Amino acid sequence: MHESRRSATGVVASLAAGLLLQATPTVAAPAPTVASPAATLVAPTAPAAPTAPSPPDDPRARELQAEALAWMDLLAGDDVAAVERRLAPDFVHVDTRGGLDDRTEFLTDLRASPPRRGALVREWRAVRTLVRGDTGTFVGRTTWRPADPKSPARATYSTLVTQHWRATPAGWRLVTHQVARLDAPPEIVEFASGELRLQGQLFRPAGEGPYPAIVYAHGNEPDPTNTIESVAPGLVARGYLVFGPHRRGAGLSSGAAPNLLRTLTAIEAREGVEARSRAAIAALEGPQLDDVAAAVEHVKRLPGVDPERVYVMGVSFGGILALLAAERGLGLRATVNFAGAALNWERSALFRERLTRAAREAKVPVFLAQAENDFSTAPTRELARAMTDAGRPHRAKLWPAFGLTAGEGHGFGVDGVEAWASEVLPWLEATPPRAGPAEPARPAP
């Protein structure tokens, strides 16, 4: 269905995580009221006030972006003739389920759907436009919000819009319009880590709380947006507030420091695996963990959060950070290490030694979790043995193979929420409250 006046399967379809490209949102004209239950606005939080997206540097891309945004506004109105004038003869519409409509079918459906305007305005995020020769591509994430900035209502989903345009003597003509409905975008919030100002993605459950909170530590990817937006909805649906901090050098915080993955890759190319391991461990137990600690403190101060039920969970490098967070304490209830060091365990004695020490000195319970088809399951087996020998409370489990490849198995902690939530989350809630004062977050150097 169209992203237009048609209700549930059209207008405000939600976008997959990895496509949030750090652009700021903008507001267009008032939008139609969306009657479908799927488009219902619900409390409790109002989105941040939007700002206009930066126009592209290239003049032709700037022209196309303005054309695409204007066409989307027309689509939400009642001037079907103006919509039609911008369509190429071979226009194709692709809906969120993969259905195809040609130009005639698209316009027929559009005319049969009278607009119903309401007190909503459109926001854009992640707007990107590229022009090559006589063709152009527009991608943007859009959602609706109440026109009243004081309204606590929020949209329950958003839309990824992908369009392909063709330049003609009469101007740009739309060749393909595709929408994909996914989850509502998270709040983008700022938090302090020492002197740095970092950002992260915040997902709130329904209700006023108190509710438990999970700080989800991403891996070593340059942009963790996809990771966090993939894992968070399943946890939020189970009543958890989820905060995905983008650590220094990554994603929303990429301007705060050099990217860690690129730095480590360059070190390994110059000096080898051992030098890379030394640099990685120094970063993980130092500034990277400081960022996680700062995120924990930020979450504890959020309205509705039960500060006695705050957990750190992470995958890959984030799993390592979950174990290091348990070693430092941080006033946490427990942590979950998904696949920490699975890519480094076999090739780095330094990683093995450092994480074994962290396991033996953990101040809070740790759940060690992996899928059987991860790159290596030795970390879960050997760290569990070390924690048993040291008398540290923990749980360890290897799930059956997840997906078809080692890479999919490694991503079990992100994509396998439905497989592990029924076991991991009750374990978290069953861990005893922490005793004694928490070790304070160490300020970043």
Domain with CATH 3.10.450.50 in the chain: 17-183
Lowest mean pLDDT among 32-36, 162-166, 311-315, 429-433: 32-36
The CA-based diameter of the chain, rounded to the nearest angstrom, is 76
- In this predicted structure, what is the pLDDT of residue 52? 47
**Rounded to the nearest 5°, which phi and psi values hold at 269?**
-65, -35
Could you check whether the bond before residue 44 is cis, i.e. omega within 30 degrees of 0?
yes
Q: Which two tokens stand for residue 425?
A: 């989350």
CB 337 within 8 A of CB 366: yes
Rounded alpha-carbon distances, angstroms, from residue 255 to 41, 251, 276, 287, 369 = 34, 9, 22, 15, 32
- In this predicted structure, what is the pLDDT of residue 53? 58
Interval 32-62: pLDDT, tens: 322 222 222 222 233 343 444 556 778 999 9
Interval 399-412: pLDDT, tens: 999 999 999 999 99
Q: Which of 114, 90, 95 is nearest to 33 (CA)?
A: 114
Report residue 261 CA to chain centroid gap: 18
CB 194 within 8 A of CB 292: no
Top-tier CATH class for 187-430: alpha beta
- In this predicted structure, what is the pLDDT of residue 35? 27
Count Cβ neighbours within 10 Å for each residue of 175-202 and write b for 16 or more, e otherwise: bbbbbbbbbbbbbbbebebbebebbbbb
Interval 347-368: pLDDT, tens: 999 999 999 999 999 999 999 9
- In this predicted structure, what is the pLDDT of residue 22? 28
CB 424 within 8 A of CB 312: no
> What is the CATH number assigned to the segment(s) 17-183?
3.10.450.50
Say if residue 424's pLDDT is above 90: yes
Lowest mean pLDDT among 33-47, 110-124, 181-195: 33-47
**Rounded to the nearest 5°, which phi and psi values hold at 92?**
-135, 135
Strand, coil or helix: 158: strand
Interval 228-273: pLDDT, tens: 999 999 999 999 999 999 999 999 999 999 999 999 999 999 999 9
- In this predicted structure, what is the pLDDT of residue 116? 55
Residue 119 and residue 150: Cα distance in Å, rounded? Answer: 13
CB 183 within 8 A of CB 211: no
Residue 389 and residue 385: Cα distance in Å, rounded? Answer: 6
Tokens 């595709």 identify what position?
Answer: 178
CB 126 within 8 A of CB 13: no
Q: State the DSSP code for 274.
A: H
